[in-house]
Amino acid sequence: MKSIFILPVITLIATGFLISGLHGKIDRLAEVNEILSKRIEVTKSNSVSTWESPGRGRGDVPGKRIGWKEMLSLAGADPANRTGGDIGRAAAFEKRLLEMNREEMIGILDEIDNPYLTDAQRDILFAMVVMPFALKEPDLILTRFPDRLRDLTPNTVSWLSAAFGNWGAKDGPAAAEWLDKQVGSGVFMTKGLDERNPLLAIYEASLLDSLLGSHADLAELRIGKMPVSERRDILRRAAWGVEKSKQASLVELARRQLDEIDVRNVLGSSAAALAAATDGSGLSLVDEYLERIPTTEAERDELWRTSASSFLMRESEPSLEDVGTVRDWLDERSSESASQIIGDTLGDMANANSRTGYKTHAEVLLRFHAENGGDDLLLGFLNKATIYNNKEQARIIAEKISDPAKRAAALQRIR
pLDDT at 192: 56
Task: Tell me the per-residue pLDDT of 114-157, one tens digit each, with 9 for 90 and over.
Answer: 888 888 888 888 888 887 888 888 899 888 888 888 777 777 88
Low-confidence ranges of the chain (pLDDT < 50): 1-29, 32, 36, 40, 43-63, 77-85, 193
pLDDT at 30: 52
Residue closest to 112 by CA, chosen among 140, 88, 153: 140
pLDDT at 93: 75
248 to 19, 266, 291: CA distances (angstroms): 20, 11, 11
Residues 6+ apart with CB under 8 A from 292: 244, 247, 248
**Where would I find the H helices in 43-153?**
68-75, 84-99, 102-112, 119-136, 138-144
